C-alpha cells in the first residue's frame, strides 16, 4: 500500500499496487505543467487508485486530445495523467507526490529529444 498527497494536503490518495513502468517524461507539456526539467510518472490500474480525500479539489486539464492531467486546484501539485489509448484501464501518477518510500529498479526516459539543454545527469565541478 502506497500513500501520496499534494503540497497543501487537500488531496490524498492510496495506491493498492506499486506504480509500474516508472518513466521520466521529457516532453514539453510535462515541463510546462510541472515547471521542471521532466516529470516522473508510475502507472497503476485505475481500480488501484483510491482517493482518501480531496478528489473534488482536483482540476482536470486536457493537454492534448484524450489526455487528461489532474492537479490540485489549491496548490497546483500534479497528481494524475490518463488517457493512453493503449492502456485505457491504467492511470499514471506523478510519483513525486508519494509519501511512502518506493523502490524503483529502472526508470525509463521518454521524449529525450525535447530534454532541456540545462539538465545534466552528472554533476560536474
Query: For binding to Zn ion (CB under 5 A), which residues are involved?
Result: 6, 8, 10, 25, 27, 30, 72, 74-75
Q: How far is the CB of 16 from Zn ion (least distance, A)?
A: 22
Q: How far is the CB of 48 from Zn ion (least distance, A)?
A: 22
- Our CB check for Zn ion shows the closer of 44 and 72 to be 72
Residue 7 C-alpha cell reads as 503540497
- Our CB check for Zn ion shows the closer of 22 and 30 to be 30
Q: How far is the CB of 122 from Zn ion (least distance, A)?
A: 23
- Our CB check for Zn ion shows the closer of 35 and 125 to be 35
Q: Residues 6 or more apart from 101 whose CB is under 8 A from it? A: none
- Our CB check for Zn ion shows the closer of 47 and 116 to be 116
Phi/psi at 103 (nearest 5 deg)? Answer: -95, 125
**CA atoms of 72 and 74, how far apart (whole Å):** 5
Q: How far is the CB of 29 from Zn ion (least distance, A)?
A: 5
**CA atoms of 13 and 26, how far apart (whole Å):** 25
CA–CA distance from 49 to each of 25, 37, 64, 79, 110 (Å)?
21, 26, 23, 11, 24
Residue 12 C-alpha cell reads as 490524498
Amino acid at each position: 500500500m502506497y500513500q501520496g498527497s499534494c503540497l497543501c494536503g487537500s488531496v490524498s490518495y492510496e495506491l493498492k499496487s506499486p506504480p509500474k513502468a516508472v518513466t521520466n517524461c521529457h516532453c514539453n507539456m510535462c515541463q510546462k505543467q510541472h515547471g521542471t526539467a521532466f516529470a516522473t510518472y508510475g502507472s497503476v490500474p485505475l481500480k488501484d487508485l483510491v482517493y482518501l480525500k480531496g478528489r473534488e479539489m482536483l482540476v482536470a486539464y486536457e493537454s492534448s486530445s484524450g489526455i487528461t492531467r489532474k492537479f490540485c486546484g489549491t496548490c497546483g501539485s500534479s497528481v494524475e495523467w490518463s488517457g493512453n489509448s493503449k492502456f485505457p484501464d491504467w492511470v499514471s501518477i506523478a510519483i513525486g507526490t508519494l509519501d511512502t518510500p518506493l523502490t524503483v529498479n529502472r526508470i525509463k526516459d521518454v521524449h529525450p529529444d525535447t530534454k532541456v539543454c540545462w539538465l545534466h545527469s552528472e554533476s560536474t565541478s
